[in-house]
Structure 1
Amino acid sequence: MERIRLPGPILNIKAHSQRGAGDPCDLACYPFGQRKVLSTDQAGRNFLYDADTRDVAAMPKFHKPKLRRCLSLFVPSGGDGEGDDREGGGGGSLYLMVRELREVKRYKIEVGQPSMDFEVLFYGNGRTTSHCKRLRLPPFVLEPIHQNEYPEIRSYAVVGRGSHVCVSVDGRGTYALDTARYTWSKIGDWTLPFHGKVEYVPELKLWFGLSGDAQHLAAADLSVMDAHSPPQLAAGHGWEEFLPPEQWAEQELDIDQEDVQLVNLGSGRFCIARFFIDWR
């Protein structure tokens, strides 16, 4: 088995310590375009790191900390959420939403009101100063729930050249947020055939992600979606993955962690991280 050695870090970021507050320190990082990373801590403090210039800038605070189990989608200010963000000068909008909404009943009291569980961070779009804005949650949180049912967002993507943010929810269907009007609409009762974040590759004009069943690398065309039938995975693509030794078993992590990680490296390249246990 070939081994690789990762390069040393060029930046170290730590969560802000709250001595005496009794709250644990925590930190999360989200991609902000191609060459920037947003770090946020348990107090909602945000910093943006630019890998090209190696500059760090303070960003507006979230109304509520956005740490684990959050989906993140970035739409460049150029308006093309399905391509290069260089035309937008590296600015854009970062959408963050809690994926597992356990307290669904609570939102019935707040019909039509923005929620702290879904926020967008605006930065460098040339029209307004950087700030955070609370948004309305998708309509499924207002639907009746059954006992022990916790609707969870299983897959999500930017579609329509950045005009919409799309989320799929188990047992509820697929919804789209208009990024200009901030209004939700239901696309269909089906869900996307993916698990987790779905990334657009402009060179191939396809969306890539982990398949919803075996969680292997897969692709689909999400440019046009029919309300009556879900998108189908592209046929004829059988990408080989790492074949673990027989004594290795894939590890199931706890609820606060993803079991598989897919990272878009650009230019049609992806890094897939899986966790294994060696039973020797």
Structure 2
Amino acid sequence: MLKMEKLRPYVCVAVNNFTRGTYPVHRIDASGLFYQKDQGKVTTTPPVEHPLPRPCISFSPSPCRSGCGVLDFLGLFGLCQKRNLLAAVDYQGVSRVYDVDDCIVNITPAPQEPKCCEPVSIDLGGAFYVLDRQLIPGRQKCFEALTFGPPNLFGTPRWHWRSIQPPPFIFDPGYETTRIGAYTVVGDSSIMISTPLGTYTFDTMSSSWDKAGDWELPFHGRVEFFPKYGAWLGFSAQDNRLCYSSKVGATRHQPVLDMVWDDPNPQLLSDYPNPQRYTHIVKSQLVHLGSLEFCLVRLYEDVENELTEHGTIPQMERFIVLTGLVLKPSESGSGIEMIPHKSQLYRFEGVSNCWIL
């Protein structure tokens, strides 16, 4: 759940450096995404390209027989509403927690089952909940929580994983693997997941599942609750545009979207040669920076076949665009207005994946 305090003035971007087999994490200063309050009227400008800052840390996964191992970043979480801890786990289940503020790495006990393929992760009620995004039939340990304490033999509290009851439908006869399309927090203690089989809620207090309905949420990916306006912010399942709904969790019926905003960077692609190549958005995320400020992150991809003397070789290019956003009540007082500020572009080379944290 989003809080109104100023949380953090940065965005963490983790990448997979396929050439070196490492995962550097870059901490990008988000203050450059916003105009000063005394700067007058905000105007949308084309993204300015910047080099990625030097990595604040680089992870190396456990090796495997085929070479470099695979690692997945689970997201940011923390204690006492301070989300400054970055969790990462590799294919062997080796778990690491990195303190972004103090630059300290801690090795934590491994989860009972490895978590991969960008699982669902939610920081709620002093625990960090992690659930497989692909729900495989009968997989008992697909849902776990990373919690702090109890103390070890030396009396020192520690992070540890505990298994949680998985969604009940994965044990139904004839059930086939299903992907979670959207997820969010409802109230102070419930996690909601949306699948093609319906939408379900998990109460973290009673550790019980309940089916909200046979419908899906009109979002895709993570949906954040914005308590100041009683609205859930995310991306439309229909066209990947930023949107919000005030109806999530309010009834047993499928919620509708109150507003779908236009892309704040319509001029982005026109500034590049062959702009039609840069229409594939791989990933969209909304990062809450605190108060009314957000960062919209879009990961673009272009794959072009290059003809060489050795045959056709696909060449991939990826870059992210970060846009500062401020949300405030609309002038009519009947909704929320999105005000885009500055945009920055960061280009990758030879990167096979990217996590925005």
Q: Smaller-chain TM-score range?
A: 0.7 to 0.9
Do the aligned residues in 1 keep the contact of 2:87 with 2:95 (CA within 8 Å)?
Answer: yes
The equivalent of 1:164 in structure 2 is 190
SS in 1 for 2:163: strand
- The letter for the 2-side match of 1:25 is G
Match of 2:71 among 27, 38, 46: 27
Q: CA deviation at 1:175?
A: 0.4
Q: CA deviation at 1:116?
A: 1.7
Structure-2 change in CA distance of 1:214 and 1:124 (3 Å): farther
Tell me the distance in 1 between the aligned counterparts of 2:263 and 2:298: 14
The equivalent of 2:87 in structure 1 is 38
The equivalent of 2:265 in structure 1 is 242
Q: How does 1:68-79 map to 2 (within 5 A)?
A: 68-75=117-124, 79=125
Structure 2 residue 106 is the aligned partner of structure 1 residue 61: no
Tell me the distance in 2 between the aligned counterparts of 1:196 and 1:60: 28
Match of 1:151 among 178, 187, 204: 178
Q: How does 1:129-144 map to 2 (within 5 A)?
A: 129-144=158-173
Tell me the distance in 2 between the aligned counterparts of 1:202 and 1:125: 32
The equivalent of 2:298 in structure 1 is 273
- The letter for the 2-side match of 1:26 is V
Q: TM-score, normalised by structure 2?
A: 0.61
Structure 2 residue 229 is the aligned partner of structure 1 residue 180: no
The equivalent of 1:2 in structure 2 is 47
Do the aligned residues in 2 keep the contact of 1:160 with 1:223 (CA within 8 Å)?
Answer: no
Tell me the distance in 2 between the aligned counterparts of 1:129 and 1:222: 38
Structure 1: segments with no counterpart, 5+ residues: 80-91, 253-258
CA RMSD, 1 decimal: 2.7
Structure 2 residue 261 is the aligned partner of structure 1 residue 232: no
Larger gyration radius, structure 1 or structure 2: 2
Q: CA deviation at 1:150?
A: 3.7
Do the aligned residues in 2 keep the contact of 1:157 with 1:167 (CA within 8 Å)?
Answer: yes
Q: CA deviation at 1:199?
A: 1.4
Q: CA deviation at 1:28?
A: 1.2
Structure-2 change in CA distance of 1:183 and 1:234 (3 Å): same
Do the aligned residues in 2 keep the contact of 1:249 with 1:278 (CA within 8 Å)?
Answer: no
Do the aligned residues in 1 keep the contact of 2:62 with 2:68 (CA within 8 Å)?
Answer: no
Q: TM-score, normalised by structure 1?
A: 0.76
Q: CA deviation at 1:177?
A: 0.7
Q: CA deviation at 1:277?
A: 2.3
Q: CA deviation at 1:43?
A: 1.6
Structure-2 change in CA distance of 1:241 and 1:145 (3 Å): farther
Structure-2 change in CA distance of 1:260 and 1:266 (3 Å): same
Greater strand proportion: 2
* Alpha-carbon displacement from aligned partner over 1:68-115 (angstroms, at most 9, x marks no partner): 14111111xxx3xxxxxxxxxxxx2111111123x42xx2xx8xxxx2
- The letter for the 2-side match of 1:99 is R
Q: CA deviation at 1:45?
A: 1.3
- Provide runs of 4+ in structure 1 moved above 4 Å: 21-24
Q: CA deviation at 1:124?
A: 5.8
Structure 2: segments with no counterpart, 5+ residues: 1-45, 78-82, 152-156, 306-357
Q: CA deviation at 1:173?
A: 1.0
Do the aligned residues in 2 keep the contact of 1:69 with 1:100 (CA within 8 Å)?
Answer: no
SS in 2 for 1:9: coil
RCO comparison, higher one (Cα < 8 Å, 6+): 2
Tell me the distance in 2 between the aligned counterparts of 1:124 and 1:242: 45
Tell me the distance in 2 between the aligned counterparts of 1:177 and 1:271: 28
Structure-2 change in CA distance of 1:223 and 1:251 (3 Å): closer
Tell me the distance in 2 between the aligned counterparts of 1:204 and 1:45: 40
Match of 2:284 among 244, 253, 261: 261
* Alpha-carbon displacement from aligned partner over 1:107-139 (angstroms, at most 9, x marks no partner): 2xx8xxxx222211112699x753211122212
Do the aligned residues in 1 keep the contact of 2:134 with 2:180 (CA within 8 Å)?
Answer: yes
Structure-2 change in CA distance of 1:248 and 1:23 (3 Å): closer
Tell me the distance in 1 between the aligned counterparts of 2:263 and 2:177: 34
Identity fraction in percent: 25
Do the aligned residues in 1 keep the contact of 2:241 with 2:263 (CA within 8 Å)?
Answer: no
Q: CA deviation at 1:152?
A: 1.6
Q: CA deviation at 1:32?
A: 2.7
